[in-house]
Amino acid sequence: MGNTIPSQPTKLQLLNIAISFAILTSLVYPPIKMIFYALVEHAVFKSIPAYQQHLAHGFLNHWVPATLAYLVLVVTPLGTWLKASRTVNWLLFIANVIVILYTVARILASTVQGGGFSYLVISYSVVTALPAILLIVFSFARIIILSIRFRSAGTGEETSTVNRAVNGHDWVLVTIASAIPTMFGAYVGYGDGSPFREARASAPVFEEMCKGAGDKVYSKKNGAKGILFNPDAGALYTDIKDGVSRSRGGGIIANGLMYRYKIQFIEIAKHSSSPQGDTSVTYYRKKSGDLKKYPIELPASEYGVFTKTITGKREKSIGITGKRTEIIDLHTQEVVASSVYFVSRSDWRFCGYAPNGTYSTDAFISRSLNLKPIKK
């Protein structure tokens, strides 16, 4: 019979096709994973161990869609409508095995700390998973072409006599079908702005920068009469577990500190630039119990809180942001305390001093200056 095309695919062949279909949908638009992320916060999922994440992705992206696709092919006429030669079935089987082995390798590699083995497995995807996916795309295009031809020929019998030569239109279809996932995969994996490229690039840089994160108190203080904020801004990261923050925020903090702690007044520095590029600083003062702010020429605060970004364009390009907040004795210009933290945008990893899973700028200030709360 040679490379014949059976009129009725076997259950094993339908399972083979269903697995290939699940692999393709996992690359383009995995519906089950999208539903899962709609119900579970992404940061929460990122906080579990890496191997558990890969196992969950394998279940959500491959096993569930493959099972659903197999059931559809078995209980609907679609399974009998599909036509595939023995060669195509074998190509799909080989491609499926390669992708499954690659997935297993990713899971096993993720159990090794440091990320080195995971990066090694990902690096070899160009000669393992990617060719297998292209093979699946080509095979699916061939299945669609043969199914349409058999439908047009009006025959459902097992035959090898139908002209199966690939004509020009077939090659155009195969080229388009192969090019779309190839370009998508190339962009997702290696293109500018790619989240995977960003994550791969940021991981070692983030780990190295985190060595300098944390709080340091150089001089113990006992309260403050006045505090200068430059700028009046703070950060808040909560529910930090296994180095991943589930919630983040921030905003002005000077007023809140004055209303909660025994501070006589606060002063805020406002910066403005002229069209010529000159920068001027204006100072405002607020007293406890007074909602108004008054312009002043020079600050009279004992301490100044200065926050600045310590990451540059290189770190920003791979999604890493770092901040340093310093409390300075304005009389002696000595650093009283400093707080440094870093955040990775790719997976919202956080490193810094976060007691009880929470980092906040105002908590750092109140701890460092030993501010006394207002009794209510």
124 in the same domain as 227: no
Number of domains within the chain: 2
CB 320 within 8 A of CB 340: no
Q: Are residues 330 and 254 in the same domain?
A: yes
Q: Are residues 105 and 148 in the same domain?
A: yes
162 and 301 belong to one structural domain: no
Token digits of residue 336: 């009283």
Dump pLDDT digits (tens) for 116-172. Answer: 566 677 777 777 888 888 888 888 888 888 888 776 655 444 444 434 444 455 455
> Do 168 and 229 sit in the same domain of this protein?
no
Which pTM does this prediction carry? 0.54
Query: Is 139 in the same domain as 242?
Result: no
Which residue range forms the structural domain that includes residue 166?
Answer: 11-191
Q: Over the stretch 201-259, which tens digit does the pLDDT of each residue have?
A: 677 888 899 999 999 999 989 999 999 999 999 999 998 887 888 778 888 999 899 98
User: 328 and 186 share a domain?
Assistant: no
C-alpha distances in angstroms, 211 versus 203, 214, 345? 13, 9, 18
Contact of 354 with 240, CB cutoff 8 Å: yes
What's the rounded Cα separation, in Å, for the pair 278 and 115? 47
Length of the chain: 376
Residues 146 and 60 grouped into a single domain: yes
Residues 236 and 343 in one domain: yes
Pull the structure tokens for residue 125: 């995807």
Around Cβ 262, how many Cβ atoms within 10 Å? Answer: 14
Domain boundary among the residues 142, 161, 191 is at: 191
Domain annotation covers residue 2? no
- Most confident option among 35-39, 71-75, 123-127, 309-313: 309-313
Here the tokens at position 208 are 């190295």
Q: Using CA atoms, how far apart are residues 125 and 97, in angstroms rounded to an integer?
A: 14
Which of 191, 221, 237 finishes a domain?
A: 191
The answer to whether 283 and 300 have CB atoms below 8 angstroms apart is: no
**53 and 115 belong to one structural domain:** yes
CA pair distance 146, 148, nearest whole angstrom: 5
One domain for residues 81 and 225: no
